[in-house]
Structure 1
Amino acid sequence: MNTTAQLKKNYHFIKYQKLIIVAIVIGFLSALLAIILKRMTEHYETILLDKASNHWYFFILFPIFGLSVISILRYYLFQKKENKGIREIFETTAQRRNSLPLYKIPSHFINGFITVIFGGSTGIEVSTVVATATIGSIAQEKENLFNRHKTELICAGVAAGITALFFSPLAGILFAWEVISKKINAVFLLTCSIASAVAYLMIQLLNEKPLFPVQLQGWHWHALPYFVLLGLLAGMNSVYLTKSVLFFKKHFSKIKQHSNRIIMGAAILSASLLLLPQLYGEGYHAIKENILLANHTLLTLSVALTFLGIILLKPIVTSVTLASGGDGGVFAPSIFIGGFIGLLLAICLNTFFNANVIPLNFMILGMGAMLSASINAPLTAIFLTCGIINDYTLFFPIVLTCWVAKYTAQAIYPFTVYTYNAVAK
């Protein structure tokens, strides 16, 4: 072997050795960050929601307090720059010289936490994704050997964060591919697989539980047409969510005084929370309550109006939260809305058509279908849905509804909140 070939072989050996080490570190730090943010948010959201449920005026005070604190922190601590969510990652990966600055970790961690615990109707998923992507970006900057692998290391952080939140390494890797990278190579597979494996090991060691542990009863082939119908409804509602976010961001951006945006946003959010407390935060508390009762829920006027109100108002309050300065994205709202679409459809089918479908199954399927359509990532949605319940019983129906929802949404409107740009305007 000549000297040039030997040097090239040594270079690749050293590079992959270092990539393995850095992927382990990224996986550990990203999982740790995601788990801490998840636990803190769940703990304090429960406390503050309980306070507001017992004293209605907190539904008015919490949103304006939370949005105001975020604005103050952004002005004095985070370089007066607003968080753009997933778009920040796109802007970084699009150009080799760009990078995610270190302050993006505390910025998204703190702002995402404050947004949700004080009633902002989003979730911590996008905050976690950008913060963990920043870990990968910083790791790339520390070693010249990684100059050509910035996207792969960012994706490793993202994959580990999603794995830690949703109990599914496959969902983490697929999200990094479908949404962030759009391409696969050897370095991507190596770093994302290792980071996700480390994150999964972390959640096992720390005894993390699936988001919605359930006992499923199987499913029936006669329900296939109804699964398709659910996919169609989820796809249409995802377009409503996307257009709501774009509409409110556009019109709130015309309000020059940021304090006026906060006041207007808090007013809309507070009025919605007083009407439907289920809209508080990411809404997982309401999903968990309804999962327990799903198969015993009967269609009454009160139930129908409540579920319709949730489905129609959640996109608006999510959009207002983001437009007025809150941190987050459409990840959690999609899961939340999809769950209630599925439950309402199932009890309507059983009441009016004697369809004999299982409402709990439709809740789970609705979550995946709505997420698939909202972020245009059906493979991520399929494995993430199985991960959040830690059960693959509904795998085939989930595949069906996720793909139907995605293509329905694309047929109506070709953009998501992630891909919308000046061309769409």
Structure 2
Amino acid sequence: MYLRSMVHLRKVNVWRKRQLSGANFLIIAAAFVGLLGGLAGALLKLLTHTIEHSIQGIDWGLKYYILLIFPSIGILLTVVYISGFIRKSKFEHGLSQLIYSISKSGSKIPIHNTYSQIISSALTVGFGGSAGLEAPIAVTGAAIGSNSSKIFGLNYRDRTLLLACGAAAGIASVFNSPIAGMVLALELLLPQFSIPAFIPLLIASAVATVVSQFLSPEPLFVFVAEGWRFDALPYYILMALGIGYFCSYFTKLNTWVGALFHSIKNKWTKVIVGGLVLGILIAVFPALYGEGYITIQELLNGNYSYMLQVSFFKDFAHTDWSVFLFALLTLFGKSIAALVTVQAGGNGGSFGPSLVMGGFIGFVFAYGLNTFAGTQLNVTNFIVVGMAACLSGVMHAPLTGIFLIAEITGGYKLMVPLMIGAAIAYYVNRRHNKYSIYTQSLAKEGNLLSLEDRDRTLLAAVDVGQLLETDYMAFLAESKLSDNISKILDAKKNIFAVVEADGTFTGLVFSEQLLEDVVKLKDKLEEASVLMKDLAQPALELVYLDTPIYEVIQQMERKNIRTLPVLNRDGQFAGFITKNAIFSKYRQEINKSLNYF
């Protein structure tokens, strides 16, 4: 049955290649991916909200016990699901895996991501995990695009584009924001795009948005934008500077929390520790439950005491200083809770929490100045700009921050403050952290295809083993030169390795040198007393199988050598690596990185 399906599929692909140009087919494929991405987004929202509403329907006399326990249950169920059902490949969290896939694995994403991301994130967030659904749905959409390209028999270039179309469709479906979905794909996944890539991305985002609007038309935020005042501009700038430093703090906190949980080897211990920390935080600060968008909507509505009204501290809900202080503490609590949720084993992203944290910062800044300094700032406007600025800084994606917030809030009247806030926050965090939270670990491991350090980045994707040439002769150190003369004369290479019986590298000999030695040592040759180890020269430089390619090039340049011996860490000879092979591979990698469309 499978083979028959493959035969029919191959015939269909042959037919469509004859009937449709590559560009026209990609538009159709993008619409197909957008449709599936939109359905996936609607399904994820339905599952998550169904779980949330079921839990919230429980007797709220037990509310604080629910807040304490249920997030832990959600993380536990997520870990059980992943451990029990995702076995053939490693389960990855967040947008980092998409960037890694493009840089390192030919834009191929395991097929289980088309459904496992939906199930696991719905369990995590539906039960109260303080994370966002945006990263899981982006990965789901990207997996749909990547695996669809496999069905269609597309190459790396087109597969990468469909992967990005799927991610754009996922974001567009969750936020009902087609432009933001397209821009995010361009900023994070296709930084080296060409203009024609716009069309498939637009098609995928638009189709996904239409599907999402049809199935779940309610907007994420309801907000009536007012125009911004020129005299408030210095305050927007000041707030954006503060958000930039907060983004730097959050990036460093992400590294610290990740290292802390990485030191816990047992996954069930992670669930217990993370669940306990998360449960306590949410019990004290109920606004941390789930995505957190409900709280932001209440702040946009002007219900500033909402956070206190649903907490242990509701008796303080009507004092300005307690509202300010509680919002500030909730902000930092959110930064911890979002990271603990994922590191403990839950599935979610930092995309949504970035929006929520930005909203809190905008509220704390404007409400605090109005309360304690007597200013007359528009609090809702600062909440909206704060969301854009924080998303821009954390993700290093200023255009995504601007267009996403403008679309989901209808705040196009705030375009200038949005642009200023996003640009400043991005710049400040970029100065302190060259890479975003999604690319930091990839860059450290050499798995990031970035515009900066282009040569080093491209070569980091190549291993010495990939370029190893094993068709060179190696002679035993104890063998006689007289026995090897015929082999030397017939060899196509002019360099030979000399090794011990166990493969340990001893040195090098060159055909020109050997021929000279044959003449000089003619008498000794007849006596058969000259051994290969007597003629071996030490290598000027040695390369190991785990040596980065960029370092290999530096070694060659240092000694002006074009061929170097490669050893394993036990000192055994593995083969040779040549400068020609490295440059040939580099040309392939640079062509692959440029040809997105």
Give the TM-score category using the shorter length.
Answer: over 0.9
- 1:219 match: 228
Deviations 1:197-232 (A, max 9, x none): 212322343361321111222221100000001111
1:194 paired residue among 203, 227, 234: 203
Matched residue, 2:247: 238
Number of matched residues?
416
- Partners of 2:330 and 2:140 in 1: CA distance: 29
Q: Which moved more, 1:18-27 or 1:287-296?
A: 287-296
Q: Does 1:270 align with 2:290?
A: no
Maintained 8 Å contact 1:335/1:371: yes
Q: In 1, are the aligned partners of 2:94 and 2:136 still within 8 Å (CA)?
A: yes
Per the alignment, residue 94 of structure 1 pairs with: 103
Structure 2 CA distance for aligned equivalents of residues 52 and 184 of structure 1:
53
Q: 1:411 maps to what in 2?
A: 431
**Residues 77 and 228 of structure 1: is their aligned pair in 2 closer, same or farther, counting only changes over 3 Å?**
same
1:349 to 346, 353, 369: 369
Partner of residue 66, structure 2: 58
Aligned residues of 2:245 and 2:429 also touching (Cα < 8 A): yes
CA contact (8 A) 2:107 2:160 kept: no
Matched residue type, 1:64: S
CA distance in 1, matches of 2:436, 2:244: 11
- Partner of 2:440: helix, strand, or coil? coil
**What is the aligned counterpart of 2:115 among 106, 109, 115?**
106
The answer on 1:38 being equivalent to 2:45 is yes
The answer to which of 32-41 and 75-84 deviates more is: 75-84
Check conservation: 2:106, 2:156, Cα contact below 8 A. Answer: no
Offset at 1:275? Answer: 0.6
User: 2-side partners of 1:410 and 1:274: how far apart?
Assistant: 34
Deviates more, 1:335-344 or 1:140-149: 140-149
Find 2:337's aligned residue among 307, 317, 335.
Answer: 317
Deviations 1:330-387 (A, max 9, x none): 1111111111110111112212333211001111111111001010000011000011
Task: Select the structure of larger CA radius of gyration.
Answer: 2
Q: TM-score, normalised by structure 2?
A: 0.66
Residues 210, 390 of structure 1: 8 Å contact kept:
no
Aligned equivalent of 1:85: 94
Question: What SS does structure 1 have at the residue aligned with 2:264?
Answer: coil
Q: Deviations over 1:235-260 (max 9, x none)?
A: 11112222222211111111111111
The answer as to whether partners of 1:93 and 1:150 remain within 8 angstroms in 2 is no
Q: Pick from 168, 172, 189: which aligns with 1:180?
A: 189
Alignment partners' CA distance in 2, 1:376 and 1:330: 12
For residues 107 and 264 of structure 1, the distance between their equivalents in structure 2, rounded to whole angstroms, comes to 24
Write the letter of the residue equivalent to 2:76: S
- Going by fraction, where is helix more abundant, 1 or 2? 1
Q: Is this contact kept in 2: 1:86–1:418, CA < 8 A?
A: yes
User: What 5-or-longer segments of structure 2 have no aligned partner?
Assistant: 1-16, 307-317, 446-597
The normalised TM-score by structure 1 is: 0.92
CA distance in structure 1 between the partners assigned to 2:195 and 2:420 by the alignment: 30
2 CA distance for matches of 1:423 and 1:178? 17
The one-letter amino acid of 2:79's match is S
Once residues 45 and 183 of structure 1 are traced to their aligned partners in structure 2, the CA distance between those partners, rounded to angstroms, is 40
The 3 A distance-change label for structure 1 pair 285 and 295 is closer
- Would you tell me which structure has more strand in proportion to its own residues? 2
**1:158 and 2:178 correspond:** no
SS at match of 1:177: helix
Q: Quick one: which amino acid aligns to residue 32 of structure 1?
A: L
The CA distance in 2 between the partners of 1:361 and 1:294, in whole Å, is: 15
Q: Partners in 2 of 1:326 and 1:202 — Cα distance?
A: 28
Q: Is the 8 A contact 1:294 1:343 kept in 2?
A: no
**Which residue of the partner structure matches residue 32 of structure 2?**
25
What's the offset of the Cα at 1:91?
2.0
The 1-side partners of 2:80 and 2:59 are apart by 24
Overall identity of the aligned pairs, in %: 32
User: Would you say the 8 A contact 2:107–2:146 is kept in 1?
Assistant: no
In 1, Cα distance between the equivalents of 2:192 and 2:78? 35
Q: Distance in 2 between matches of 1:401 and 1:200?
A: 27
Hey, what does 1:4 align to over in structure 2? none
1:5 maps to what in 2? none
Query: In the alignment, residue 354 of structure 1 is paired with which amino acid?
Result: G
CA distance in structure 2 between the aligned counterparts of 1:347 and 1:18, rounded to whole angstroms:
53
| Partner secondary structure for residue 325 of structure 1 | coil
Alignment counterpart, residue 390 of structure 1, candidates 404, 410, 415: 410
